[in-house]
Amino acid sequence: MAKYYHITTYGCQMNVHESEKIAGVLTELGYEACENIEDCDIAVFNTCCIRENAENHAFGNIGMLKKLKAKKRDMIIAVGGCLTQQMGKAEDLHGKFPYVDIIFGTHNLGNLKQLILKKQARKKAVIEIEDCDGKVTEGEKPFRTSYPNAWINITYGCNNFCSYCIVPYVRGRERSRRSENIIAEAKQLISEGYKEITLLGQNVNSFANGTDDISFPELLRQIANIDGKFRLRFMTSHPKDFSEELAKIIAENPKICHAVHLPAQSGSDAILKAMNRKYTSGDYLKKVEILKKYVPDCALTTDLIVGFPGETDEDFKDTLNLVKKVGFSSAFTFVYSKREGTVAAKMENQVPEEVSKTRIMELISLVNSQTREQSAKYVGKTVEVLCEDYDKKKNLYLGRDEHGRMVYFESEKDISGEFVNVRINSANGVSLMGEITNGKE
Binding site for ligand SF4 (CB under 6 A): 158, 160-162, 165, 167-168, 202-203, 238
- Interacting partner of 15 out of ligand SAH, ligand SF4, ligand F3S, none (Cβ under 5 to 8 A depending on kind): ligand F3S
**305 forms part of the interface with ligand F3S (CB under 6 A):** no
Q: CA nearest 59: which of 94, 32, 26?
A: 94
Rg of the chain, C-alpha, whole Å: 22
Name the minimum Å distance from CB 10 to ligand F3S. Answer: 7
Considering only residues 37 to 76 of the shown chain, the ones binding ligand F3S according to CB under 6 A are 48-50
What does each C-alpha distance from 213 to 201, 206, 368 come to in angstroms? 16, 11, 41
CB neighbour list of residue 143: distance below 8 Å, 6 or more residues apart: 20, 23, 24, 26, 27, 33
What does each C-alpha distance from 94 to 12, 166, 268, 341, 421 come to in angstroms? 24, 21, 41, 21, 52
- Interacting partner of 168 out of ligand SAH, ligand SF4, ligand F3S, none (Cβ under 5 to 8 A depending on kind): ligand SF4
- Interacting partner of 339 out of ligand SAH, ligand F3S, ligand SF4, none (Cβ under 5 to 8 A depending on kind): ligand SAH
- Interacting partner of 337 out of ligand SF4, ligand SAH, ligand F3S, none (Cβ under 5 to 8 A depending on kind): ligand SAH
User: Can you name the residues that pair with 80 across neighbouring β-strands?
Assistant: 46
CB neighbour list of residue 238: distance below 8 Å, 6 or more residues apart: 160, 203, 205, 206, 263
Count interface residues toward ligand SAH (CB under 6 A): 17
Applying CB under 6 A, which part among 163-171, 259-267, 361-369, 392-400 lies near ligand F3S?
163-171
In this complex, which beta carbon is closest to ligand SF4, that of residue 157 or of residue 217?
157
β-sheet with 31-33: strand ranges across: 31-33, 3-9, 42-47, 76-81, 102-104, 126-128
Sole binder of ligand SAH in the list 24, 168, 217, 263 (CB under 6 A): 263
Applying CB under 6 A, which part among 2-10, 162-170, 279-287, 364-372 lies near ligand SAH?
162-170
**235 forms part of the interface with ligand F3S (CB under 6 A):** no
User: Can you name the residues that pair with 31 across neighbouring β-strands?
Assistant: 3
**51 forms part of the interface with ligand SAH (CB under 6 A):** yes
**79 forms part of the interface with ligand F3S (CB under 6 A):** no
Binding site for ligand F3S (CB under 6 A): 11-12, 14-15, 48-50, 82, 166-167, 170-171
Binding site for ligand SAH (CB under 6 A): 50-51, 164-165, 167, 202-203, 236, 238, 263, 265, 303, 305, 334, 336-337, 339
